[in-house]
Amino acid sequence: MIPLVAWGTIARRMTRIWTPGLDGEPLAPPGFVRQRRIVGHPNYVLDHPTRYRWNKHVVALIRKLYRILGTKLIHVCTYVEHPPMDQLAVPRRLDRLSLDLWDGQGRGFPIDPDVGWRAYNIMWDDPGQPFIDWIIWQAQIRQRANGFAWEPFGTDPISWHYDHVHVTFHERSFRL
Ligand SMILES: [Zn+2]
């Protein structure tokens, strides 16, 4: 006799149902294998391998995004040294305070612009922690340091961020 709870686990493994919107469920998709970083590799993804670990207050918002939009429409990930420390005068590792929003197929798959805007608004309008430090989407950046004014951003297809939304949050201890 297999306890009900074990059946749930077995069924999930067999059917690969992934429910990151629920507390306690993995934020990494089924089959994710954590790769080591190859520093300086010309392939950005090998130099900055994907991760799915965030500070607790960011996790709560990511789960909310998945509950509203679902794993078909969005994929949320971060990566090693995200953003790279040579950008935006980033002085330290912010991997666990940053996220990228892609299409549900995964990192590198362009998000549908309407879905991107919905996700943007969910994060922007979220009443609780975390607080946005900066957000980049559709060749524009809004930074707390600049009163969240819209400013042009990017110099090429990657930095324009037409294909994904980037957000970096403050620490939970941050006070407005
Ligand atoms: Zn990013």
65 part of a folded domain: yes
Q: 2: which 2 tokens?
A: 């297999």
Nearest to 27 by CA among 72, 69, 60: 60
> Which residue ranges of the chain lie beneath pLDDT 70?
1-16, 86-89
pLDDT for position 2: 61
| Residue 119 is assigned to a structural domain of this protein | yes
* 174 falls within a domain: no
What range does the domain containing 146 cover? 4-169
Count the domains in the chain: 1
Instruction: Give 55 Cα–ligand 1 centroid separation in angstroms.
Output: 16
Return the bridge partners of 141, or none.
136, 151
Whether 45 is in a domain gets the answer yes
pTM score: 0.88
Residue 176 lies in a domain: no
Ligand 1 center to residue 95 CA distance, Å?
A: 9
Residues whose CB is under 5 A from ligand 1 (ion)? 100, 166
In this predicted model, what pLDDT tens digit does every residue of 112-160 receive, in sequence order? 999 999 999 999 999 987 899 999 999 999 999 999 999 999 999 888 9
Q: Is 53 within a domain?
A: yes
> How far apart, in whole angstroms, are the C-alpha atoms of residue 112 and residue 74?
9
Q: Are 165 and 111 in contact (CB under 8 A)?
A: yes
**41, 137, 139, 153, 169 from 150: Cα distances, Å:** 33, 10, 10, 9, 17
Q: Give pLDDT, residue 84.
A: 86
Q: Is residue 118 part of a domain?
A: yes
